[in-house]
Amino acid sequence: MEIKEQLLEKSQEAFVMAIEIYNKPTLKYRLEGFSFFICNAWELMLKAHLINRDGMKAIYFSDKPNRTITLERCVQQIFTNEKSPLRRNLEKVIELRNTSTHFITEEYEAVYVPLLQACVFNFVDKMMDFHNIDMTKVIPENFITLSVRLKSLDETEIRGKYDKQVAERLINLNNNLQPLVESNNSSFAIKVEHYHYATKKREEATEFYHIDKNATEGVRLIKELKNPNETHKYNAKSCINEINKRLVKDNIELLYRGTKAKLNMYHFNNFTSYFGIKENEKLCFVYQVSSQPQYSYSQQAIDFIYDEIKKSPSQILDDLKEKNALKKSTPGAKDSK
């Protein structure tokens, strides 16, 4: 077996170990174990990519030919844009791995889990992009989502639990990371949101409160809260990219006029027009900020279009073109979808 294949085999095993460690309910030190193995998985996978791209010498230090380069060096050579959310994510996860060899508290999980989930998804994407290896065939897709068991970080509780140096380090880390989470896309962090709802069914509740008639502070009950930046975070171009990636991954050949094709903006607009996607709040959010509205789409929109393509990949693009042309030529006509 060639060195490149050995690296990829070990990379896949390290990735599976990282996921299994993190999702084990009985482990107290899952964060430390996960950070070690996910970094190991990335290093082996990226070194295999460097061998493919630049030859065997690329994974060794030029002045120390018997020593392979670090993960940090791999990241710098492959992801050359320092502001890339994926590179920033990896750098932060590497920091966590380095920190966990010395000291770490259980509350680090609340700070890092959005980055860890993004790191997992990024690995799956790059293993496919660089090596055409589908990690969902190695580990079931539903297990790639990390099992989150945490509550939001409470600064008062942290200061009461730890000495000043440890508490301030953790709080400062959280305060420094949060702006990065807000300003970067899902390649940097997958947000974990905490929502609170009022219910009369005690068995469904995870936290409890009571109303005090003598309280001086007011409160408002929120039945539903939606942030379109989270629920509808895809523009048309990113929707198209995601759908095309899934088609390639699942070996689905899309045809248009009898020729192999990729979904493009023209086809996407045919989908939104025929199925009324822009009028469906679950699938599309409309920003009325100017005379020309802007549209953003949800994950459900991507899933919906992909599922429709999957039903008839060789015919659907042609069918939608014809049906939309018919609608335009007969105003007011209703199609049976």
pLDDT digit string, tens, across residues 26-47: 777 788 889 999 999 999 999 9
Q: How far is CA 273 from CA 1, 55, 294, in A?
A: 52, 49, 15
What are the beta bridge partners of residue 259? 256
Cβ distance 218 to 279 under 8 Å? no
Query: Which has more pLDDT, 94 or 174?
Result: 94
Mean of pLDDT values over 240-256: 92
**For 98-137, what is each residue's pLDDT tens digit?**
876 555 566 667 677 788 888 998 999 899 999 999 998 8
For all residues of the chain together, what is the average pLDDT? 80
DSSP 37-52: HHHHHHHHHHHHHHHH
Helices (H), the chain: 3-22, 30-54, 71-78, 85-100, 108-131, 155-161, 164-183, 228-231, 236-249, 265-274, 299-311, 316-329
Q: How far apart are CA 43 and CA 123, in angstroms?
A: 11
DSSP state of 234: B
Mean of pLDDT values over 288-307: 84
Least confident of 18-27, 146-155, 194-203, 249-258: 194-203
Mean of pLDDT values over 182-208: 58
Amino acid at 287: Y
Look up the pTM and report it. Answer: 0.59
Q: Answer whether residue 290 shows pLDDT above 60.
A: no
**For 113-123, what is each residue's pLDDT tens digit?**
788 888 998 99
Q: Answer whether residue 222 shows pLDDT above 50.
A: no
Q: How far apart are CA 72 and CA 91, in angstroms?
A: 7
β-pairing verdict for 284-287 and 254-256: unpaired
Q: Which of 60, 62, 41, 55 is nearest to 116 (CA)?
A: 41
Cβ distance 333 to 326 under 8 Å? yes
Cβ distance 97 to 19 under 8 Å? no
Strand, coil or helix: 286: strand
Most confident of 32-46, 60-74, 206-220: 32-46
Q: Give how far the C-alpha of residue 29 lies from the chain's centroid of Cα atoms, to the nearest Å.
A: 24
DSSP state of 333: -
Mean of pLDDT values over 75-86: 94
User: Given this model, what pLDDT does residue 108 score?
Assistant: 67
Give domain limits for the chain: 3-190, 228-329
